[in-house]
Amino acid sequence: MSDSVCPIDAKEELLRECENIWKEMEKCQSKLTLLAAEPVPESDAKVSLLLTRMQALRAEYHQWQKRNPELISTNPEVLLLLGEEEKVKKELEMVLSAVQLKNEKLKEDLEREQQWHDEQVQILNAFKEIEEEMKKEVVTDSEKRVFQELKNQMLELKEYKKKLMNALGEFLEEHFPLPEKNGNAKKKRYSEEPPEQVITIHEILEILLNQLMSTPHEPYVTVDDSFWPPYLELLLRSGIVLRHPEDPNRIRLEAFHE
């Protein structure tokens, strides 16, 4: 059977030994109290006896003063427990010291970051003030003239574009009108009559142009029943319109401006 003692039994043993030592100290204190309370007899023999006791106690007192502290318990389990508690205490003190140093470092870093943030806010406010001042500045006459010239040129371009589109529309309406049922516009190679909702060649070109200008990365338009096949074939043969390389039902306007 093992003689090892659990921590609770070691503490109880240590407390018992402390109580025993305390009881012995109480007994010594009681003896000293009785000696001090005992009336000094008038007899010389008793006085001599008391002096002898006093000298003996004094010698014992000095002897106790010279002695080194002794271990309360010699039980290795008790000593191990006390040593572990002392070690844990020292480790906790070291951890506390390290945490306090780290907190001080974090506090210094926080103060520096706060100072940097305040400086950035001041710089940002300064830039905002400069921006507001620049917005309030009056435009010079030369800048006004340049702006007015650009505005006039833009209006002239819009007007010229409008004239071109009107001329193109008149030309297409005259030479490429809407197909009529049982009319001359119907080609022999197309036995079916044109559908009810067909659009002019002018509208086809306008749809393709708007698609090309609004989404140049995706200029293709899906062909539906409103696109009359003869007009579509004419545009394809003329090189004005191109089919999608993978989907023949999608067409795009040739990018002549590139």
> Do the Cβ atoms of 241 and 249 come closer than 8 Å?
no
Give me the residue spans of the domains in the chain: 7-74, 149-253
Report the pLDDT averaged over residues 244-248.
91
Calculate the average pLDDT of the chain: 76
Report the pLDDT averaged over residues 19-25.
80
The predicted pLDDT at position 137 comes to: 66
The predicted pLDDT at position 41 comes to: 52
Neighbours of 58 (CB within 10 A): 10
> Do the Cβ atoms of 241 and 212 come closer than 8 Å?
no
Q: What is the pLDDT of residues 68-97, one digit of tens each?
A: 655 555 666 666 666 666 777 787 888 888
Q: What is the pLDDT of residues 93-121, one digit of tens each?
A: 888 888 899 888 888 888 988 888 888 88
pLDDT at 220 over 80: yes
Across-strand partners of 3?
Answer: none
pLDDT at 193 over 60: no
The predicted pLDDT at position 255 comes to: 78
